[in-house]
Structure 1
Amino acid sequence: MTASSSPAPRRAPATTSLRFALRELRGGLAGFYVFLACIALGVAAIAGVNSVSRALTEGIAHEGRTILGGDISFSLIHRQATPEEYAFLTETADQSGGTIALVSNMRAMARRLDGSDQTLVELKAVGPAYPQLGTFALAGGGDVQDALSTQNGVAGAVAAPELMERLNLSVGDEVALGATKVAIRGIAETEPDRLSDGIGFGPRLLVSEKTLEATGLVRPGSLITYEYRLILPGASDERLTRIRETADERFPEAGWRMRSRDNASPRLSDNIDRFAQFLTLVGLTALVVGGVGVGNAVASFVDLKRPSIATLKCLGASRSFVFRTYLTQILILAALGIAIGLAVGAILPFVALAALSNILPLSAVPALYPRELALAALYGLLVALSFSLWPLGRARDLKAASLFADRSAHFAAKPALSIRLLQLGLLAGLAAIAILLSADWRIAAWFVAGVIVVFFVLRLIAFAIVWAAAHAGTIRNTTLRLAIRNIQRPGALTGSVVLSLGLGLTLLVTLALIDTNMRAQLTGRIAEEAPDFFFVDIQNAEREPFVALLRKAAPDGTIQTVPMLRGRITEVHGTPASEIEPEEGAGWVLRGDRGITYSSDLPENSRIEEGKWWPENYTGEPLVSFDGDLARGLGLKLGDTVTVNVLGRSITAKIANFRSVEWESLAINFVMVFSPNTFAGAPHTHLATLALPEGSPEKVSADVLREVTNAFPGVTSVRVKDAIEAVNSVVRQLALAVRIAASLALVVSMLVLAGALAAGHRQRRQDAVILKALGATRRQLMTAFAVEYGLLGLATGFFALLAGAGAAWLVVSALMDFRFTLFPWVAAAAAIIALVVTIGLGLAGTWRILSVRPAPFLRNL
């Protein structure tokens, strides 16, 4: 039969590929443990983080009524609702057969009766029906209303445990509050609406409405929030939306903040989403680092299967059959790794929520979340496929003759163009999913772009190291020459070491520098440049005697006072604030109330960027000076108008100039500074700061706080040191979670490195045996290997320092607007970690190789 008349080979059915794949897997999973670990760890991290986030957000949504204290709430700053506004709220509640309750929040000073100590408290005044929803639990039991009642002529109060500890109080003790005193009759154990009130700088103190009136703390311009909570039985979400729209239509200048049960704690929900997004991206980075390990494991597997592949091809197996057979094995193993990761990720919400139960007053019920688990599985599958295609494609296209060649030889074959395009498409899909499904696509896009850039730069660095080793010239020292040659020989581990360890270390250095810079700003520059005290709610009549007291108590201190009001931006150049789409980082200025002031002069720690300051004794139309960065984020330009609602009155002012503000100094400054004629005759209070001379003893600060609190009980004193410590405490907790996530990437890097070393075990053993036969001692070989791994680790650590420092500088300087500092100990730590990991793992894998006797091995060459 001629060649032209020979029948075409029949295509093997898919079941045949599956049968061959399963048959080869009967030999066990040797060589694939790193593969499984890399996939499982990455999938577990992504599934766990997203599942915990979903559990928390669903818990907030499920308990929205309890957290908010009603179905819908209306909050006002400085003032209570007018009779017309209150009538509308009452009518709305009556239409649904519901109720309305008032809760007031402000900051105040609680003092021991002997005047020996005092502290800032978050004061909350409630009515007789509180809590309308949920349960307020007291330590040791009891009813909250009984604890708040007046007994023997003394009003009661309920305190947070922190307040009892801070002032060294016991249940039954009395404290001074404004112009009256209260007896602590209970310690709060569970406060159902705690999340609704946000995070404060002081411990909670709960009193009744009548007690708040008796304190004398509520005065014109006092910084107090009145929240009207409506319980509307059976009200649908559409009904709540109509209520909000009606409130806006009937009272366009009310300036109240409206929240409904589906958005009971928006800041907490946003923070959970953002933090989960960040940790998900870190987990994805760990998964991509693991992809290098996946590629190494598959390449090693293909190398071991070269005789089998050659035999199949000689027996007539097509390239596509070989490719399908071994791809099927990889998919089966990937499915096993994904299943392990999903199992761990599904358990994480149950563990995490149990650990958070004492931190978050939220009874979030953990469950299995199919969407989050499916997303993690998709990530794992895409990574496994993306990094497996290259070595599988090479095996597909290598000829049988080359497969039967010496297994120590290495071939530089590339997979077919179709395979490379498919791999590129899978990686692009992985990046697209990470960006499109994130809470903030901009941050995700930058993160993904950074990983891609670092990945390619690391490839270039690995190439540069190999090139430098190949062109090192004549090296006399035998040990060093052997180490240099090992770096650039065929099948060297240079690329795997630099890629795997470089990505993990870069992420670790970036997060470490961001964390260190944030702490340095809080405890360093900010703490040094910030004033020692802020004093709030100083009445006009109190300003002069208050300043006189400060000068007497701290004669060397620097005192600054400014008028202060609270207002909400309602319109920007005629467009309602709710319809504005600001740039990232500028939206917060449109949410909630902002502190505002007026001034004849340009505030300190700021400079004019564009425009002019108004002249002294200006009497024209209202003008406003706006923070330049925020103005650009809102799309504002000179001459545009901004409308703010202050004390229920809408005021429109024209932008006269843009300012650059040094916010990190914590000096008195505001986003908006108005011309003095804008608020002529409006009731307001004053804000004051006191900066003590550097090195002042702690006793001076304590004496100032005591004298101010005793002489002006209605003035709220905020010690900056305590506020910074409160913020630092939150930062420490977040940093712990970030370090754990970053450590995951480093652990995966170590796994990949260990896998690469295992994959190169055979070649290393052959080299060691031949060198020992030629007279090399174990010590010489160990030293050569140590130098090789040390050089690779040093080069990788140096790159990780540069790349991590660059990424951290971008985040700290551009996003956080802080001054960036490169800390030497972080650089040293990165280099040490790189050296310890590479040398340690390298020598651990080499020790067994050096124990092989040359004779039996040489007989089988």
Structure 2
Amino acid sequence: MSGFVARPSRLPTAVRLGLRDLRGGLRGFGTFIACIALGVAAIAGVGSFAHGLVDGLAREGRVILGADASFQVLHRELPDAIVAALAERGTVATMATTRAMARTPAVGDAAKSSLVEIKAVDPGLYPLVGTLESEPAASTRDALAPRNGRAGVLVEPALLVRLGVAVGDEVILGDLPVRIAGVIRSEPDRLAGGLGFGPRLLLSLDTFRQTGLIQPGSLIRWMYQLDLGSSQATDAELRRVIADIRGRFPDAGFEIRTRMNASPQLTTQIERFSQFLTLVGLTALLVGGVGVANAVASLVDRKRDDIATLKALGATGGMVFAATLTQVGLLALVGTAIGLAVGAALPSAVVAAFGSAIPIPVATSVQPGELATAAAYGLLVALAFALWPLGRAHDVPVSALFRDTVDGERRWPRPRYLALVAATLAVLVTLSVVTSFNPRLAMGFMAGAAGIFVALRLVAAGIMALAARMPRSRRTSLRLAVANLHRPGALTPSVVLSLGLGLTLLAVIALVDASFRRQIEDALPERAPSFFFVDIVNSDAPRFDAFIAENAPGADLNRVPMLRGRFVRLGGRPVEEIRASDDIAWALRGDRGITYAATVPRNSRVTSGDWWPADYDGPPLVSFDERMGRGFGLKLGDEVTVNVLGRNITARIANFRHIQWDNLGINFIVVFSPNTFRGAPHAHLATLTYRQPASAETEIALLQQVAAAFPAVTTVRVKDALEAVGQLATQIATGIRGASVVTLVAAILVLAGALAAGHRARVYDAVILKTLGAPRAMLIRTYATEYALLGTVTALFGLASGCVTAWVVATQVMNIPFAFAPLQALGIIVLAIVLTVGFGLVGTWRALGEKPAPVLRNM
């Protein structure tokens, strides 16, 4: 026992002083701990949940993909030799996916049609992995088998609603009537297929071949699912199989997915979205850092008599600094521990509450790496914001400590403390960049946050300078309110810093959201086509043109040939070696639409180089989008190799084009000279744009007519697609707004803490003024005016900086016009005023209730 008691005596004196000082409890540090805990919980929770999603995708990759590996090609089926080679390695199941129109057999006005996402499978093998659940329950073979001369199909419930049909009814797919045998309740490999624009329709491969939808050039993705025969097959074994197939068939042109990357785009989007939410959490933590600085400054102020006594007894400034830093460090550890506990529990809580609505498997295990990152963020922010107020107290003499509340003198910390602040901030920035999915975004965020902090401090200084130079008002309450803005110990810097960054983030989110919605709802529909028509076969193209001219005489049809190809080499470099920015790197992944043309396409203009003659018949030439060409490091004369229909085709860049992407017209990154694909089977893509706005009834009627006359043509109504995109955008925006609430809560906590820290000064003010005869109503008007002025100016700055940031994000990142939203802007201003005045008056009311006598006796 004596050893245990003696142990603290061996601690450094400064540490023992700091620990002893904490015996009095944590009063006054609630905001400090809450701010750190909130920011750490946000970062740890978002990181853990996102990591759980990625781990869940990796763990369930075999089920999500439906096999160990998938070999995918467009337009064509793989040769028998390749299929046989795959069969040597395990079980091979063939699937095909495409979009088509399903319609009811009724004629006339009663006919209905709907876009569907078709999946054709081998009923005896599908699914290779996982379980297909349907209602009524049946095996895949039984559900898709013919009954009474009609093949069975399984559909998602949404199709029943769209077509007004039920299980057992018939629908027409292409040229073939089929029977709805049941409803899909769970499709094991649904996620691997990506985002769909229509309900799923599942049928057998034999039935699919009978529909007439398979035409030369039709946009059909053929997939060959390979099951190695055991879920225990190692990743190394799978990689050897992939390498062997690639080596034996180097020019096959297939895209390969494995259980290790069952849905790479989904994984990428999860990582990007989680990074954004992590930056939101970091914003909350930085806002909380202001609360840390306020709390530490308040601690130094409250302990000034103790510090003076220690210095009078011989304590050095370094010892005082170390003792106080010990307290701050322990408090930061407490806040961080609370945040880590909440963040670690968040994935399990989300799964428990919303697990049935999350289509992605989530691994709810503790994520040590994410928790360590969040802890590092919390401790670094606490240290960075605490060092400055702690450092200022180091060299202040005893007499100056006692005068501090009178003259309000401010000194910069010693150079070594400034160096410590700079080093801590550098480590914080480095951590943000190293752990970021997009280092440029992280650097931009940290630079923007630093700029806003500096600007907010300048705004506070400007308010104080302006208030000091304003003419004295005859109204007592206004004169006192203006004086409070610039007097020694004024709340102006704390309040402006507390609210400014949080309001800036809210303004950015609100205005970017408004710009995106304006782009979708207002600008695009006026100029966008009404329909996209896909898979118009060559032989039907003239008849299709005549049909549209007869049934939609007040509309313009733009029809172009379309193939699908995958970039293989650009400028002599394999695409795998090209490092491009995120906004254009998508063009290098998977298959892209390509076309050929004799003249410059609509919505394009040549910016460099020359277009080929209409009768050009030399070596293949290609026109490239100038922005992407610049991003890929291409120049005129470079060669571009694409794989089309299993063949590598190389063409020389003849020119670069500027493409107008924002009108939803037909645009292609690359356009080839017509002789490049002479004789190649392909289909056509077309858009239909009404010269005068057409009613919904007119558009739907045309959709039904096209579906009946051209069963193999897929018709996409643009307004329906925009509505689907808008719904997705709404869900994303709702999630982002929800996450931004964390920052607002942090701002409110810091604001409340800043106002609470000034409570003692408010008590003295109230007592003196009441003693001099000031009525309570006048004091309330004084403080309300002061807080309203602070809230208004802070809101205006937050709105201005938010507008600038939102403009950059909208125009430079999202490439859409910026739209100012006056209602959202007014809401931000009102919110700032309400918060500032509300919290301020709550504290003021308590101050006004203090009895004068006890306060005067202790002054």
In the superposition, the TM-score normalised over structure 2's length comes to 0.96
Q: Is the 8 A contact 1:293 1:755 kept in 2?
A: yes
What's the CA shift for 1:215? 0.8
- Tell me the amino acid that sits aligned with residue 101 of structure 1: A
Equivalence for 2:254: 256
Query: Aligned partners of 1:671, 1:844: CA distance in 2, in Å?
Result: 61
Equivalence for 1:416: 414
Equivalence for 1:345: 343
Equivalence for 2:736: 738
What's the CA shift for 1:459? 1.2
**Structure 1 position 151 matched with structure 2 position 154:** no
Q: Is the 8 A contact 2:103 2:172 kept in 1?
A: yes
Q: How does 1:169-180 map to 2 (within 5 A)?
A: 169-180=165-176
- Tell me the amino acid that sits aligned with residue 142 of structure 1: A
What's the CA shift for 1:140? 5.0
- Tell me the amino acid that sits aligned with residue 586 of structure 2: W
What's the CA shift for 1:584? 3.1
Query: Aligned partners of 2:518, 2:402: CA distance in 1, in Å?
Result: 61
What's the CA shift for 1:521? 1.2
- Structure 1 residue runs of 5 or longer lacking an equivalent are 1-10
**Structure 1 position 106 matched with structure 2 position 112:** no
| Correspondence for 2:112 among 111, 117, 130 | 117
- Structure 2 residue runs of 5 or longer lacking an equivalent are 1-7
Equivalence for 2:327: 329
**Structure 1 position 210 matched with structure 2 position 206:** yes
Equivalence for 2:301: 303
Query: Aligned partners of 1:351, 1:554: CA distance in 2, in Å?
Result: 55
CA separation of 1:798 and 1:583: change in aligned 2, threshold 3 A = same
Q: Is the 8 A contact 1:584 1:633 kept in 2?
A: no
Equivalence for 1:593: 591
- Tell me the amino acid that sits aligned with residue 184 of structure 1: I
What's the CA shift for 1:636? 0.7
What's the CA shift for 1:800? 1.2
Q: Is the 8 A contact 1:483 1:784 kept in 2?
A: yes
What's the CA shift for 1:86? 2.1
Question: What's the Cα RMSD here?
Answer: 1.7
- Tell me the amino acid that sits aligned with residue 749 of structure 1: A
Query: Aligned partners of 1:774, 1:272: CA distance in 2, in Å?
Result: 63
Q: Is the 8 A contact 1:585 1:633 kept in 2?
A: no
Query: Aligned partners of 2:657, 2:800: CA distance in 1, in Å?
Result: 34
- Tell me the amino acid that sits aligned with residue 857 of structure 1: V
Equivalence for 2:560: 562
Query: Aligned partners of 1:139, 1:677: CA distance in 2, in Å?
Result: 52
Equivalence for 1:798: 796
Of stretches 119-128 and 693-702 in structure 1, the one that deviates more from structure 2 is 693-702
Equivalence for 2:3: none
Query: Aligned partners of 1:152, 1:499: CA distance in 2, in Å?
Result: 75
Q: Is the 8 A contact 2:535 2:714 kept in 1?
A: yes
Query: Aligned partners of 2:23, 2:733: CA distance in 1, in Å?
Result: 45
Equivalence for 1:8: none
| Correspondence for 2:832 among 828, 831, 834 | 834
Percent identity for Structure 1 against Structure 2: 51
Of stretches 688-697 and 647-656 in structure 1, the one that deviates more from structure 2 is 688-697
Query: Aligned partners of 2:250, 2:618: CA distance in 1, in Å?
Result: 26
Query: Aligned partners of 2:636, 2:832: CA distance in 1, in Å?
Result: 52
| Correspondence for 1:697 among 691, 695, 698 | 695
What's the CA shift for 1:15? 4.7
Equivalence for 2:459: 461
Query: Aligned partners of 1:423, 1:734: CA distance in 2, in Å?
Result: 37
Query: Aligned partners of 1:488, 1:407: CA distance in 2, in Å?
Result: 14
Of stretches 788-797 and 670-679 in structure 1, the one that deviates more from structure 2 is 788-797
1:561-584 CA deviation, whole Å, 9 max, x = no partner? 111111111111221111211233
Equivalence for 1:86: 83
CA separation of 1:598 and 1:469: change in aligned 2, threshold 3 A = same
Equivalence for 1:5: none
- Tell me the amino acid that sits aligned with residue 368 of structure 1: V
Q: Is the 8 A contact 1:34 1:293 kept in 2?
A: yes
1:659-712 CA deviation, whole Å, 9 max, x = no partner? 111111001111111111111111111111111244422110111011000111
Query: Aligned partners of 2:14, 2:325: CA distance in 1, in Å?
Result: 9
What's the CA shift for 1:409? 4.8
**Structure 1 position 27 matched with structure 2 position 20:** no
CA separation of 1:36 and 1:694: change in aligned 2, threshold 3 A = farther
What's the CA shift for 1:42? 0.1
Query: Aligned partners of 2:679, 2:99: CA distance in 1, in Å?
Result: 25
| Correspondence for 2:156 among 142, 155, 160 | 160
Match of 1:358, SS? helix
Query: Aligned partners of 2:41, 2:388: CA distance in 1, in Å?
Result: 25
- Tell me the amino acid that sits aligned with residue 735 of structure 1: A
Of stretches 369-378 and 310-319 in structure 1, the one that deviates more from structure 2 is 310-319
- Tell me the amino acid that sits aligned with residue 117 of structure 1: K
Equivalence for 1:56: 53
- Tell me the amino acid that sits aligned with residue 205 of structure 1: L
Q: How does 1:696-735 map to 2 (within 5 A)?
A: 696-735=694-733
What's the CA shift for 1:534? 0.4
Q: Is the 8 A contact 2:514 2:820 kept in 1?
A: no
Query: Aligned partners of 2:105, 2:356: CA distance in 1, in Å?
Result: 32
Q: Is the 8 A contact 2:408 2:488 kept in 1?
A: yes
Match of 2:583, SS? coil
Query: Aligned partners of 2:706, 2:37: CA distance in 1, in Å?
Result: 59
CA separation of 1:562 and 1:355: change in aligned 2, threshold 3 A = farther
Q: Is the 8 A contact 1:289 1:504 kept in 2?
A: yes
Of stretches 14-23 and 651-660 in structure 1, the one that deviates more from structure 2 is 14-23
Query: Aligned partners of 2:141, 2:300: CA distance in 1, in Å?
Result: 74
- Tell me the amino acid that sits aligned with residue 344 of structure 1: V
What's the CA shift for 1:811? 1.1
Q: Is the 8 A contact 1:553 1:703 kept in 2?
A: no
- Tell me the amino acid that sits aligned with residue 183 of structure 1: R
Query: Aligned partners of 1:119, 1:263: CA distance in 2, in Å?
Result: 32
Match of 1:169, SS? coil
Q: How does 1:618-657 map to 2 (within 5 A)?
A: 618-657=616-655
Q: Is the 8 A contact 1:191 1:361 kept in 2?
A: no
Query: Aligned partners of 1:38, 1:713: CA distance in 2, in Å?
Result: 61
Q: How does 1:357-436 map to 2 (within 5 A)?
A: 357-405=355-403, 407-436=405-434
| Correspondence for 1:659 among 644, 657, 660 | 657
Query: Aligned partners of 2:286, 2:499: CA distance in 1, in Å?
Result: 12
**Structure 1 position 132 matched with structure 2 position 136:** no
Q: How does 1:567-578 map to 2 (within 5 A)?
A: 567-578=565-576
Equivalence for 1:853: 851
1:409-434 CA deviation, whole Å, 9 max, x = no partner? 53313222111111111111111101
Q: How does 1:249-288 map to 2 (within 5 A)?
A: 249-288=247-286
Q: Is the 8 A contact 2:49 2:362 kept in 1?
A: no
Query: Aligned partners of 2:381, 2:135: CA distance in 1, in Å?
Result: 51
Query: Aligned partners of 2:455, 2:518: CA distance in 1, in Å?
Result: 30
Match of 2:146, SS? coil
- Tell me the amino acid that sits aligned with residue 590 of structure 1: L
CA separation of 1:694 and 1:846: change in aligned 2, threshold 3 A = farther
- Tell me the amino acid that sits aligned with residue 43 of structure 1: V
Q: Is the 8 A contact 2:348 2:364 kept in 1?
A: yes
Q: Is the 8 A contact 1:192 1:361 kept in 2?
A: no
Query: Aligned partners of 2:246, 2:525: CA distance in 1, in Å?
Result: 42
Query: Aligned partners of 2:636, 2:422: CA distance in 1, in Å?
Result: 47
Query: Aligned partners of 1:771, 1:657: CA distance in 2, in Å?
Result: 79
What's the CA shift for 1:214? 1.1
- Tell me the amino acid that sits aligned with residue 150 of structure 2: V
In the superposition, the TM-score normalised over structure 1's length comes to 0.96
What's the CA shift for 1:817? 1.1
Equivalence for 2:5: none
Q: Is the 8 A contact 2:56 2:363 kept in 1?
A: yes
Q: Is the 8 A contact 1:137 1:144 kept in 2?
A: no
- Tell me the amino acid that sits aligned with residue 287 of structure 2: V
Of stretches 173-182 and 271-280 in structure 1, the one that deviates more from structure 2 is 173-182
1:141-184 CA deviation, whole Å, 9 max, x = no partner? 33232111112211111111221222222221221111112211
- Tell me the amino acid that sits aligned with residue 758 of structure 1: A
